Amino acid sequence: MYQLGNYVAGDWVMGEGEGQLLFNAVTAEPLARATSKGLDFKAIIDYGRKVGNPALRKMTFHQRGNMLKALALHLRNQLPGFYELSYKTGATKADSWVDIEGGIGNLFANASLRRKFPDDVICIDGESHNLGRNNTFMGTHILVPKEGVAIHINAFNFPVWGMLEKIAVNLLAGVPAIVKPATVTSYLTEAVVREIIASGILPEGSLQLVCGSAGDLLSHVDAQDVVTFTGSASTGLMLKKTPAILENNVPFNMEADSLNCIVLGQEVNPGQPEWELFIKEIRKEMTLKAGQRCTGIRRIFVPENKMEDVWKAIGSSLAQTVIGNPLNEKVRMGSLAGETQRQEVREQVQKLLASSQIVYGSLDSVEVVDADARSGAFISPVLLMNETPHLSKEPHEIEAFGPVSTIMPYKDMDDAIALGKLGKGSLVTTIVTADHREARQYVIGASTHHGRILLLNQECAKENTGHGSPLPLLVHGGPGRAGGGEEMGGIRGVKHYLQRTAIQGSPGMITSVTGVYQTHAPGKDPGKHPFQKYFDELQIGDQLITDKKLITADDIDRFADLSGDHFYAHIRDTDFTGTMFEQQVAHGYYIMSMAAGLFVDSYHKNPVLLNYGIDELRFTKPVYPGSEIHIRFTCKEKLPVDKEYYNPVMSPNGEMRLKREL
């Protein structure tokens, strides 16, 4: 029997004893054993802090981003082996694609985020502020990597995506990770980690893996560490109360299973595109990963006069779903992750039946293809109906983590919003409507209780990523029962692993510390025109001060004729009585054009390739004829640009693909 390894302190280590037996979810055949017994968890954390953290901190944001890109490219070459193991978790090809290639897509997406950071080990956060009348004292905020480790305790439903979407963020930030996957599907996580370690792409100590119990791992954390948890709200709450986490104020990000809901707009009727989208979205969310998704639709709210039409349509749609062995090409829904999960789903549905009834499916039987329904962890999709949602607490408190949803009526949009809030906080909610005003009403009313809102109609039907698909550049999390945390979210997610510190000093000193030129800092004589320098020759603070240019009324007239901009303020014979201007005003874009003429280097070829735009251009004061202007042209920051990268995009069939960008 294969025993899973734990990758700790730079080596693959086997735990003591037999540990937990892991099974093929489709056939119930034993696959492996997992145990972490005997591991020194304090030493594991210390190794990450002392070996992995310093190695990552020495790398710049761009170097770490390119490291993620290289890792993503490497893992893409190992897909067949990952898919083979994924099928044994009960996942279909589509399920596996979301887990495996979706996880790799997170690496690519976070790799591209490096462009939002400097090519440095430090970055500025937000605006800088002048704090002195004489411009000699200022303040700003900086971000630096924490000196600890990121500890990720993940759920069983996405053994690859759950790991990669988290480590992509902490590695870009410069913090190493210790990953503790849910044991039942940890054999797939272990296979991916083996490929990551074998690639040699990550610095030693950047990633450690614990298969089995977390033991006393969390008892050794301190304020420089970050803990993330994905799973049930009750388990998350228990972990969050760990004394070391409370005493040391350790950041704890929880993404808990929640009672997510979908709402059918009041004016959506059978035959309309939105009606079909609504039914299709529910079927997809109930059957993808056999409903084992933290973002799964658990509550369905529809206008009370359309209840029967909707539940019958959902039932007809679910009946078309082929269930069975994921290796069969006709199968669209596989098994749950194991027998334990099947028993738990059945128990939770029994609790829901206290106030609801089954209108589609069965707890006792299910037809499967190429599999044994008794041996494998198969279960039928179950649609429940509750006609008294305000009087029944069960559908708003009990989650069956499988292909189970409850349909309930609402009276008007305010009522739908109120029903959604009875779930006490969710990761995501969807409203399907063609009415823009209804969508606005729902968003404003529901946002306090949901981490993400999908506004679904035919306008975005082909490109929308779906109710259950959190994206790397948007936050994934939710208030209340959903955990109160947030993951991913682009730059927002990276900042969870960075320490924000306010620094104060002279503009020159702050420039030297941050590597970004600050207003009023002394400039450097560039020696020669900056346009005659190559990228590597440019220095932060290189500053060119140009000759002066006189602005005349004739110049303004000619620019007005050339541009077609004859706004009254630019016409010399305008009567300016009662206006904010004293006389004819130069066009802002004329001033900008003259500025370019002042600082551009003659007619000679030079290393400069192009000017791709000006950020934060503002016209704050009028420039009158007779004024003189000159330019102070300063090298503020240097950012390298890669020749190509891969950008995650959604295909027409709703799958994420990696588009090569130049």
Name the 3-class secondary structure at 25.
coil
For residue 240, the surrounding DSSP H or E stretch is helix 233-240
Euclidean distance between the first and final Cα of the chain, in Å? 48
DSSP code per residue over 154-190: --SS-TTHHHHHHHHHHHHHT--EEEE--GGGHHHHH
- Selecting among 101, 165, 190, 255, the annotated active-site residue is 255
607: left (phi over 0), alpha (psi -120 to 50) or beta: alpha
Q: What CA–CA distance (Å, rounded) separates 125 from 501?
A: 9
User: What are the DSSP E strand ranges found in 182-245?
Assistant: 207-209, 226-231
DSSP code per residue over 364-380: S----BSS-TTTTT---
33, β-bridge pairs: 3, 21
Burial grade of 388 (CB within 10 A; 0-12, 13-18, 19 or more)? exposed
User: Is 147 a catalytic site residue?
Assistant: no
Q: What CA–CA distance (Å, rounded) separates 40 from 8?
A: 9
Helices (H), 18-174: 41-47, 53-57, 61-76, 79-87, 93-96, 102-112, 161-173
Structure tokens at 466: 């779906």
Q: What CA–CA distance (Å, rounded) separates 623 from 584?
A: 9
Q: For the chain, how long is the longest CA-to-CA vector?
A: 94
Locus of tokens 């700790």: 8
Burial grade of 210 (CB within 10 A; 0-12, 13-18, 19 or more)? buried
- Which residues, in sequence order, are CB contacts of 7 under 8 Å at separation 6+? 13, 193, 194, 197, 207, 208, 209
User: Is 367 a catalytic site residue?
Assistant: no
The b-or-e profile of 115-149 (16+ CB within 10 A means b, else e) is bebbbbbbbbeeebeeeeeeeebbebebbebbbbb
Helix pair 413-421, 436-446: axis angle to 10 deg: 30
Q: What CA–CA distance (Å, rounded) separates 445 from 181?
A: 36
How far does Cα 94 stand from its chain's mean position? 21
Q: What CA–CA distance (Å, rounded) separates 432 from 277?
A: 8
- Selecting among 123, 211, 294, 635, the annotated active-site residue is 294
Q: What CA–CA distance (Å, rounded) separates 425 from 421?
A: 7
Locus of tokens 């000679």: 604
Q: Which amino acid is at 484?
A: G
Residues marked active site are found at 255, 294
